[in-house]
Chain A
Amino acid sequence: MSSRPRDGAERLLVIATVGLPAHRCEWGAAMRAELASIDDSEARRRFARSAARAVVGQCLGIRVGCGLVTGVLVAAVAVTASRLQLADGGPGLLDVTVPVPAFLLMLVALVSAGLTRSFRVGLETGVYAMVAGFAALFVVLAVEGMVWMDRHGVFVLDGDPARGVVGTADVVFNIFSTGMWAGHVIVWVPGVLIGAALGALTGRQQGISGVR
């Protein structure tokens, strides 16, 4: 294959097939080689679009499932931490909601990348899990935030007391209005990247030692 993509169709297919799991690499190479033998530009575009859709759709259910499971786990962790601290209006959940989900995300990315020997699969699964985890965390914080404000007059994430009149929207969107979502993402994203990289590396090493 030439190092430089010939047109948009080839670029699309290269992007769609790069970093496929080890057992799908040949499939990606076969489709790229087939595209190289098609001359008509419209036929090339059609081929690349259809093939790329098929690649992206592969194992989508497993990735979405991993994401949902992670979301449920993150929600469970946040609810448990909230309920344990609620009695004394403890320091807030920030110490839990940042590192624990980051560890879970790293684990999900590591396992999926390790099993498929693919950084890309680990990364994609981790991103799905991160989105689901964030959505689940937001729901828990919104509900628990109102309980904390009602009982102790503090915000659930950092345990800071409310200054002045605080509305329901302030409590629910506390994570966004204070920018604390950025703190979560800054720690969670490296968790996914490290997990995917370690998983892919471990999977490949095991694959190599398995061949020997």
Chain B
Amino acid sequence: MTTTRRPSPQTMAVILELADQASGWSYGYDLCRTLELKPGTVYPILMRLAERGLVETAWERHVPQGRPARHLYRLSSAGAEFLAGVRTTRAAVADEATSTTAATPRPAIGTAGA
């Protein structure tokens, strides 16, 4: 059974940032800097997203001499679907809130308690 917990704002920020990457792959540290989040926040999120299949991971292929290959991350097709689902839900909630606000008559200013 899969649980459908609402993602945290930080998780959503990571997903949105990965979705915005035109080149596809991102580095963990670049995500930290762009989102101004600590590595201790971003890496556990990336790990969980990868475990849930929402993010694909790979190791860098062309590595400059003197440093190890870095880990790369990109949104998987399941991740893109998940993001689309979240966006649809949020849009529906926003529409509902707007329609409820519009349908509820507000008391006229200055008439309360009159």
Interfacial residues, chain A to chain B (CB-CB below 8 A)? 1, 23-24, 26-27, 29-34, 36-38, 46-47, 50-54, 57-58
Task: Looking at the assembled complex, report how far the CB atom of A33 sits from the nearest CB atom of chain B, in whole angstroms.
Answer: 4
Determine if B43 and A51 form an interchain contact, defined as CB atoms under 8 angstroms apart.
yes
Q: Which listed residue, A34, A46, A51, touches B70 by the CB 8 Å rule?
A: A34
Q: Which listed residue, A1, A33, A36, A54, touches B39 by the CB 8 Å rule?
A: A54
Determine if B70 and A31 form an interchain contact, defined as CB atoms under 8 angstroms apart.
no
Tell me which residues across on chain A come within 8 A of B69, comparing CB atoms: 33
Determine if A47 and B39 form an interchain contact, defined as CB atoms under 8 angstroms apart.
yes
Query: What sequence of 0s and 1s flags, for each residue 51-91 of chain B, a beta carbon within 8 Å of any chain A beta carbon?
Result: 10000010000000001111100000000000000000000
Determine if A30 and B70 form an interchain contact, defined as CB atoms under 8 angstroms apart.
yes
Task: Looking at the assembled complex, report how far the CB atom of B22 sits from the nearest CB atom of chain A, in whole angstroms.
Answer: 22
Q: Contacts A29-B71, A34-B27, A50-B41 given; 8 further ones with Cβ under 8 A? A: A27-B43, A29-B68, A30-B57, A30-B70, A34-B39, A37-B27, A37-B67, A54-B41
Tell me which residues across on chain A come within 8 A of B29, comparing CB atoms: 34, 37-38, 47
A33 to B41, CA, bound (A): 17
Determine if B70 and A24 form an interchain contact, defined as CB atoms under 8 angstroms apart.
no
**Given the interface contacts A50-B38, A54-B43, A54-B44, does A31 sit within 8 Å of B67 by beta carbon?**
no
Q: Does B40 contact A (CB under 8 A)?
A: yes
A201 to B26, CA, bound (A): 36
Closest B residue, CB atoms, query A56: B40
Tell me which residues across on chain A come within 8 A of B51, comparing CB atoms: 23
Determine if A36 and B40 form an interchain contact, defined as CB atoms under 8 angstroms apart.
no
A54 to B32, CA, bound (A): 14
Q: Does B47 contact A (CB under 8 A)?
A: yes
Task: Looking at the assembled complex, report how far the CB atom of A48 sits from the nearest CB atom of chain B, in whole angstroms.
Answer: 9
